[in-house]
Each structure stands twice: as structure tokens, then as C-alpha cells.
Amino acid sequence: MGRKFRLALWLLSRSFASMLGIALVVSIVTLALIGPWIVPYPDHVAGGIDLANKLQPPSAAHWFGTDEVGLDILTRVIIGARVSLLVGVAITLSAAAIGVPLGILAGLLGGPVREAIMRLTDLFLSVPGLVLAIALVAALGAGIVNAMIALILVWWPGYVRLAESKALSIRSEPYIEAARVAGASTARILWRHVLPNSLSPLIVKMSMDIGQAILAVASLGFLGLGARPPTPEWGAMISIARGYLPEWWWYAIFPGAFIYAAVLGFNLLGDGLRDILDPKSNRG
């Protein structure tokens, strides 16, 4: 493990794109972790009003300027990292927690169980996720929790597909046969053999999906269907900031730049990891 890990690190460090990805992800995660203790205006986190300072351009006191009620945009954007990262990770983990067991079951058991699971998966994948999420949010009602539920509901099928194809290809491997002949239980085979061998593509997909989930939440926030102000969510901030363009440009620019950086980081990282962990996979 130690050797392999060092080799992976060395391979990663040779790629500029992967290093950029790691740098971006580490920065965003650090901001999210220590955000509340480093923001310049901690009392602007939960909202509030300071109309005397509204819509100030970037300055020494307010690096990213202030918004329409006088809140410091740098503070709000840093706290936004916490919101976005939390939501992105929660969506990805929940989707994987639903999709992976179903996929492994489908791949391993085959027969009618597989048919049922895979047809349901195909069905969910037959409509682009964003549209399905909007339809679900329209039914459930706007808000960040409902946006999360909607995105989990459209996200799990991807994990079923991945886990199923992995389990299917592993099922016929000699070492599974050997384990079965040796009398290992199905649960043990799943846990000890199938899961570890499906891990690499899973890690790659999860890294990319955290980025895509952050983008999807921001998209719903931008459309007015996700987080609502005063929640400091990047997409929701841009949604309001749009009304203040072009004069007060900084209001929309900074939250958007953070979305871009976060999503780019997770995608470059996933991309780099794929080259190392899963070199044979298709690069769609």
C-alpha cells in the first residue's frame, strides 16, 4: 500500500493539471473548514443589514466589495464554500450509498433482480438530471433541502451503472470462483473482493461528482429553486447579483469564480486520479 501510494503521488505530481486540481481542492476544503474563524466580518455570516455600506466596490476594507444590503462579499463567499462543499459531499455520498449496493447486487445476482434494478436505472438516466431535478423541485417546493433531495434522486443511477458493470466483470474472475469454492459467503465475497476491486473507478467518479453536485446546487440556486437568501450559497448570490449588473459587477463575479474554481478542482483531481487508478477506462 505504501509503495503504491507513493507511486500514485509521484504520478500525480508529474501532471500539471492534477496538481492544479489538488491545489484547488485543498484550498476550498481549507476555506470550508476554517472559514468561520478567518472571515473579516463574522457577523455578516447569518445575514443582517448595513445599508450605509451597500454596494461598495472592492477596497482594502472589503476585498470583494459589498452586496445590496451592505454585507461583505468575501465573508459570504468563504462561508459559501462551507455550504457548497457540505451539500456537494452529502449529495455524492448519499447517491453512492443508494447506488453502489444496488449495482453490486444487480451485477452479482443477475436474473430478474438485475433486470428490475437496471431498467429502473435506465429510466432515471433517460432524462437529463437537471431537468428532472427541476421537475422534482417544482413538485416538492423550492429550497436547499428539497434541491438536495431532488439531486440525490437524480444522481444515484449513475452509481448503479458503474457498480453493476464492475461487479459483472469481477463476477467471472477466477479469484471470485476460488473464494466461492473455498466456501466464502456472498456477503464476504461482496465485502472483501467485489467492493475493493470496484473502488478505483468509484473514487474517480465521486471526485468528479462532488464538483458536478456543487455546480448543480449552484445552478438551482441561481434559478431561484435552491438555496434562498440570506443563506450564503454561491448560485443564489449570483441570482440576486444579476439584478445589479453591469454597474455592480463584483457582486456576481466573485461567487461565480469560486464555483468555477471548486468544480474545476474536483474535476481535474478526478481526471488525474483516473489516469492513475483506472487507465483503461473510457474518457467520455
Partner 1 sequence: MDRRLTAYLLRRVALAGVMLFGLVCMTFVIANVAPNDPAALAAGPDAGRSQIEQARRDYGLDRPLPEQFWRYVSGLARGELGRSIATGRSVGQDLARYFPATLELCLLAMLIGLSVGVPLGVLSALMKDRWVDHLTRIFAVSGIALPPFWFGLLLQLTFATALGWLPTSGRLSVMTEPPDPITGLLLTDALLRGQWGVFGEGLSYILLPAIVLSFPCLASILRVNRAEMVEALRADYVMSAQAHGVNPWRIVCVHALRNAMLPTLAIIGLRWGWMMSSTVLVETVFDWPGIGLYAVSSAIAGDFKPVMGVTLIIGLNFMAANLIVDLLYGVLDPRLREG
**Binding footprint of partner 1 on the chain (CB under 8 A):** 16-17, 20, 119, 122-124, 126-132, 134-142, 211-212, 215, 218-219, 222-225, 235, 238, 242, 245-246, 249, 252-253, 256-257, 259-260, 263-264, 267-268, 271, 282-284
Please answer whether residues 82 and 237 qualify as being in contact, where contact means their C-beta atoms are separated by less than 8 angstroms: no
Q: Rounded to 5 degrees, what are φ and ψ at 282?
A: -75, 140
CB of 61 or CB of 135, closer to partner 1: 135
CB of 80 or CB of 104, closer to partner 1: 80
CB of 176 or CB of 216, closer to partner 1: 216
CA torsion sign for 226, 230, 235, 238 is positive
Beta carbon of residue 134, minimum distance to partner 1 (angstroms, whole number): 6
- Determine how many CB atoms are found less than 10 A away from the CB of residue 59: 10
CB of 111 or CB of 141, closer to partner 1: 141
CB of 194 or CB of 206, closer to partner 1: 206
Beta carbon of residue 119, minimum distance to partner 1 (angstroms, whole number): 8
Beta carbon of residue 74, minimum distance to partner 1 (angstroms, whole number): 18
Beta carbon of residue 113, minimum distance to partner 1 (angstroms, whole number): 18
- Determine how many CB atoms are found less than 10 A away from the CB of residue 273: 24
Q: Using the structure block, give the residue that is written with the C-alpha cell 466461492.
A: 180
Beta carbon of residue 91, minimum distance to partner 1 (angstroms, whole number): 16
Beta carbon of residue 14, minimum distance to partner 1 (angstroms, whole number): 11
- Distance from C-alpha of 67 to C-alpha of 252, rounded to nearest angstrom: 10
| Measured CA angle at 158 (ends 154, 145), to 5 deg | 30
CB of 6 or CB of 242, closer to partner 1: 242
